[in-house]
Structure 1
């Protein structure tokens, strides 16, 4: 079993309970940036293999990642976890991670969250919806008088068209060569909006890089 870093994060998140407040802080589920940091400080082994530029991870990485999050949920510091898990055997990691069994030996996944880039596109909106015209109980409008002007002169009943001003579309740069256009946005994204978009785009960027549709990490 080999997974990309995005798939590894999904399986680890599926095996962990929902985020809960402990000691006044929110224990979050792992993400791709956290996996890379754990590998840098030795809590995760290097990738098991590579498919081109894509790093691949195996079951031991999954056990290590979940074991670290279990110990953090118990209040252990990173230094304490490093001392305990450095060089730990698969059996020791199994005992700490407590993975729920499934036919392929991986944690039973939670219901997959919908990926916004795979669904049908939302209908384009150029402005607020137009309310229906109110019912009228009075007499009908008089007919528009016929235009008897000379050819080429404007009709009084048809005013000249007014060109509409181009509206600015907010955009969020996700990575080098990847920009998200918020065509239907009614306001400029806030700092919290940008943080949420950045977290949600990790899996999309991994897919784009894997398929050669985005620049590899570290290159402009």
Structure 2
């Protein structure tokens, strides 16, 4: 994907918004614009364009990563000079690690929002496993809590099931003898 400088600024601004990147002190411009990107270029924070066709320069994903990485570092309290020292010579994967664009789908202030209530019971409450023998457990969803008599009856009735499983070669007798 290639962008003009205006398109890159727009893409970066949208990413900053999606990611919830905010300047801690209000002194730093939060939303990247064309002027800011040109300034970053003059400081070496933004690589030269990937391509120039006629009078139009085109930028790529690495440039977006650079802008977002600078904004992340500023949000963490670093100055542009500190960001410059840290980002000069970074590989694309290092920039990915700093920019963390993959966090775009995550909620910014998850602790301030009410959790979604789910009506589904936890799996542990839904299913019960009754061991018939080592390596063979019956798993089902009872309508009520099982007591000791229920477990004994299920294990007793399970003997016939074990014989059938053994005769079909699905379990071995050695494995099922206590």
What range is the shorter-chain TM-score in?
0.5 to 0.7
Deviations 1:81-109 (A, max 9, x none): 111100101011001111138xxxxx78x
Partner residue of 1:75 out of 61, 74, 77: 77
Partner of 2:7: 7
Partner of 1:38: 40
Equivalent runs, 1:122-137 vs 2, <5 Å: none
For residue 22 of structure 1, report the CA deviation from its aligned partner: 2.4
- Judged with a 3 Å threshold, the aligned counterparts in structure 2 of structure 1 residues 20 and 2 are, in CA distance, closer, same or farther, namely closer
| CA distance in 2: counterparts of 1:24 and 1:31, whole angstroms | 17
Partner of 2:16: 16
For residue 35 of structure 1, report the CA deviation from its aligned partner: 0.5
- Greater gyration radius: 2
- How many pairs are equivalent? 103
| CA distance in 1: counterparts of 2:3 and 2:38, whole angstroms | 14
For residue 27 of structure 1, report the CA deviation from its aligned partner: 4.2
Gaps of 5+ in 1: 102-106, 109-220
Deviations 1:136-183 (A, max 9, x none): xxxxxxxxxxxxxxxxxxxxxxxxxxxxxxxxxxxxxxxxxxxxxxxx
SS at match of 1:93: helix
SS at match of 2:40: helix
For the 8 Å contact 2:23–2:74, the answer to whether it is kept is: no
Equivalent runs, 1:43-192 vs 2, <5 Å: 43-100=45-102
For the 8 Å contact 2:21–2:72, the answer to whether it is kept is: no
Q: TM-score, normalised by structure 2?
A: 0.53
For the 8 Å contact 1:15–1:100, the answer to whether it is kept is: no
- Judged with a 3 Å threshold, the aligned counterparts in structure 2 of structure 1 residues 49 and 76 are, in CA distance, closer, same or farther, namely same
For residue 51 of structure 1, report the CA deviation from its aligned partner: 2.0
Equivalent runs, 1:187-202 vs 2, <5 Å: none
| CA distance in 1: counterparts of 2:50 and 2:23, whole angstroms | 34
| CA distance in 1: counterparts of 2:26 and 2:59, whole angstroms | 33
Q: Please tell me the root mean square deviation across aligned C-alpha atoms, in Å.
A: 2.1
